[in-house]
A and B are shown apart, each in its own frame.
Chain A
């Protein structure tokens, strides 16, 4: 069975609006796929449906043949997210925010902390490990969110505007790490407005008013 992340005829309606309309698309392992489109076009909704956070109104989403929607809005363990609003836990430090993702997957606390430390170093923020995330700048928070998404070595990594708060140097750093995730064999999907980032991806889909335009 092919380990594709597949959306087949997916539509998503809410409050009388159709946010996604009959989308069929496959995302491949080992590739970075960019999703671009104007604001409000449905990029975040598409990632949410693809990652199993939202149940499609119509159609199916699956990874390696398994449905992504688990019935409660929790993502499958094979999936990791880098959220546009970071989704960091304010009561935890930067390191704990990263290590909690590993603990959730059964990694022993000591090992989780060690790997989290290494992951923060990968994003050049090892020195911020003990800081509470609310004390960090927007860019630092975004890199913590990226580290948290990458540390679990997920088979599917869905990143929503992962560089929106970053400067040129850090943007390049994040894209390098995402590329490493793809090269490891993960399905990496990136929602972005940034055409420079699109250029760095292997595939590119454009979404407009909930429809796949390209």
Chain B
């Protein structure tokens, strides 16, 4: 044990990155497992576990490489097999254990790990033992003569390494395929898909980079020292290139998770806004549609804060209907919905209420007509309409034409203060009817409504000829069924809209939008007052709301008794119901992947430091100035950084296209707006920049060529006399 501890101390520089990696892995995996369980999906940790396993391979190989000479000596002394592996494993496993315990401590700050943490620690130690054991096993199978040689020999990519690269590609392909199946493949595989795609992209990048560098060797024969050396280092050394794969994989994973989290956050925000429809929403029970309209107008007669709304359940066309007091929409709802898919509603809402003169408001009837032919003694106009109190009424005008046949009148009409709907018009003539040819209506405005236009009387000409006009007039046009209700609808055929009584009314879509307040992505919006006209008692299945602005005085709100919900409350409810926390946990896992990749990159680059120092010393001894050598390292890092930037950008975009709408990170109800899973340039650029910064800063620090540490005299160290 003492010997092991001494060995641990003497090799602390090589073992410290392994311990740090173990600490990061145990802490990150524990926290993510605990968070994943809270979100009901422990599999969210799968990307981190996948990258964690890969991150252990390189240090394991390096540790095994470091112990080659020791292994050779032990073999010469007759030690071998599992006993030797066990002997060589003791130090690194102790380092992993120590790091893991530290990680456990860190995890306990963020979550209560308990048994989970211990299991993660045990799994990490076992994983590390396997990785290092396999790497040691490879070295122990080397011929002893090769193992004791002091000359380092170049190692071609082993069959196992090539196989591992191809395996990463195959695993990524299968994970994408599994995620697209219905039902999806194994959940852990789908959860791990971003990391697997990232690893595949990282592997392809490494192959491309090294292949390109090899091709560039011949073309840079005449280049200056910087590119000349950088290209050869990239082509012939794995130093910077190999850890790049892990960085790319982690950055792709984090970027995909970031896009998913942003998408999910955006969806929750949109859905909550659509659901609440105003800063404050009060649901009233046992209140009829007309009553809520009356209530809002009574409490807030100037329409400054309140808006009545009624939601009807699905009709025959599968759509829900929302009826709003559209005159107040702009003031109460439009602001809150301005950032949602329902934003275009405010541009069209004006067409719902008074559109085409179909909804009257006002108190007068203005008539101007002319009878051609023989002038009757009296012309009678019966205008049927539905009052603003939902009563059917008829306003009758009896007008005596002048000798020249001109008919003119201006009379009061009741029940139209809050809006009324004309439903029929009958024109009749009395006395001296023989010889009347027609009545030309120049003007017939009913509560502001142009009746000839509403009833489709082309040119306003009424044919009044006939032996008798005392019976039902041929001009009678019942409009309650003939004039469609203007609506704003989501995509799909829209021929009907439900009234507050649950009955179907003919509808005509004036605009199409992606989503509507209170009903989501499958619904129809109509004006409440217009829909109320002629409606029977409100359907019991209708939900009645008062929508209110955020600045509604408390006294006004106090007058509304019902379940009150604010945007924040609805947001929290939608967030919880949709499981949006899963996307945040996935993002946490992605960031942890970046942390692990950073440590692995630094450890990988640090291991090359001695080699780089010797290389630099060898070049300084032949007269190359340090500045040119530093330039070559900068070129190398820049190439790797830019390659990483491009790979992460393109890789994240590709992974997003392949995976984002397939990852089970959000439970979207059937009628809800579909999440926008398009790549977000900001997130893509951020992920790519993180990769660039990691490579340039972390690798740059690890590959910094210090003058004192790379003096040519370093080369005599092994042969000091």
Contacts and interface: CB of A to CB of B under 8 A. Distances in A.
Given A104-B624, A132-B236, A87 B721 contact: no
A101 interface: yes
Contacts of B232: 91-92, 96
Interface string B691-721: 0000000000000000100011101101111
B720 A44 contact: yes
Interface in A94-113: 96, 100-101, 103-105, 109-110, 113
B225 A89 contact: no
B721 A42 contact: yes
Interface in B225-249: 225, 228-229, 232-233, 235-237
Interface in B200-247: 221-223, 225, 228-229, 232-233, 235-237
B229 A84 contact: no
Contacts of A100: 225, 619, 622, 624
Nearest to A78: B623
A83 interface: yes
Given A44-B719, A48-B716, A101 B622 contact: yes
Interface in B16-40: none
B617 A110 contact: no
A134 B711 contact: no
Contact of A134 (B154, B225, B233, B618): B154
A53 B621 contact: yes
Interface string B138-179: 000000000000011110000000000000000000000000
B713 A138 contact: no
A133 to B, nearest CB: 9
B65 interface: no
A75 interface: yes
Nearest to A79: B623
Contacts of B626: 72, 74
Given A90-B236, A91-B615, A103-B225, A74 B716 contact: no
A54 B713 contact: yes
Nearest to A113: B221
A135 B151 contact: no
A39 interface: yes
B620 interface: yes
Contact of B718 (A39, A85, A138, A148): A85
B414 interface: no
Interface in B598-640: 611, 615, 617-626
Nearest to A134: B154
Contacts of A19: 720
Contact of B623 (A40, A88, A105, A109): A105
Contacts of B719: 44, 84-85, 160-161
A44 B719 CA distance: 7
A211 interface: no
Contacts of A63: none
Nearest to A89: B618
Interface in B547-574: none
Contacts of A73: 620, 707, 711-713
Given A40-B721, A44-B716, A138 B623 contact: no
A83 B715 contact: yes
A41 interface: yes
B623 A91 contact: no
A88 B621 contact: no
A184 B237 CA distance: 39
B716 A85 contact: yes
A45 interface: yes
B525 to A, nearest CB: 69
Interface size, A (range): 35 or more
A53 B713 contact: yes
- Chain B interface size, under 10 / 10 to 19 / 20 to 34 / 35 or more: 35 or more
Interface in A36-94: 37, 39-45, 48, 53-54, 72-75, 77, 80-81, 83-85, 87-92
A54 B624 CA distance: 17
Contacts of B229: 91
Nearest to B716: A44
Interface in B328-346: none
A43 to B, nearest CB: 5
B720 to A, nearest CB: 6
Contact of A74 (B236, B620, B715): B620
Contacts of B237: 90-91
Contacts of B718: 85
Nearest to B220: A109
Given A42-B721, A103-B225, A134-B151, A87 B236 contact: no
Given A113-B221, A134-B153, A148-B622, A83 B716 contact: yes
B152, B235, B621: most-surrounded residue (chain A CB, <10 A) = B621
Contacts of B153: 134-135
A42 B221 CA distance: 40
Contacts of A191: 721
Nearest to B225: A103
Nearest to B712: A53
B720 A87 contact: no
A92 B623 CA distance: 16
Contacts of A40: 720-721
B617 A45 contact: no
B149 to A, nearest CB: 9
Contacts of A42: 721
A202 B719 CA distance: 25
A87 B617 contact: yes
A81 B716 CA distance: 11
A141 B712 CA distance: 18
Interface string A189-204: 0010000000000000
A71 to B, nearest CB: 10
B154 A53 contact: no
Interface in A143-187: 148, 152, 160-161
A87 B153 CA distance: 15
Given A53-B713, A75-B712, A83 B621 contact: yes
A20 to B, nearest CB: 11
Contacts of A48: 713, 716
B618 A87 contact: yes
Contacts of A72: 626, 707, 711
Contacts of A77: 623
A53 B715 CA distance: 10
A43 B232 CA distance: 34
B721 A44 contact: yes
A45 B707 contact: no
Best-buried of B153, B707, B711, B718 by chain A (most CB within 10 Å): B711
B101 to A, nearest CB: 37
B152 A90 contact: yes
Contacts of A88: 618
A139 to B, nearest CB: 11
A19 to B, nearest CB: 8
Interface in B617-675: 617-626
A60 B115 CA distance: 69
A17 B625 CA distance: 31
Interface string B507-550: 00000000000000000000000000000000000000000000
Nearest to B719: A84
Nearest to B717: A85
Contacts of A109: 221-223, 228
Given A72-B707, A87-B618, A89-B615, A138 B151 contact: yes
A51 B356 CA distance: 100
Residue picked from A74, A75, A134, most chain B C-beta under 10 Å: A74
Given A72-B711, A74-B626, 18 more contacts: A40-B721, A44-B719, A53-B716, A54-B713, A74-B621, A74-B625, A74-B711, A75-B623, A77-B623, A84-B716, A85-B719, A87-B621, A89-B615, A90-B237, A100-B624, A101-B623, A109-B221, A113-B221
18 contacts: A19-B720, A44-B716, A45-B720, A45-B721, A74-B711, A81-B712, A83-B716, A84-B716, A89-B618, A90-B152, A90-B154, A90-B615, A103-B225, A103-B228, A103-B624, A104-B623, A109-B223, A141-B151
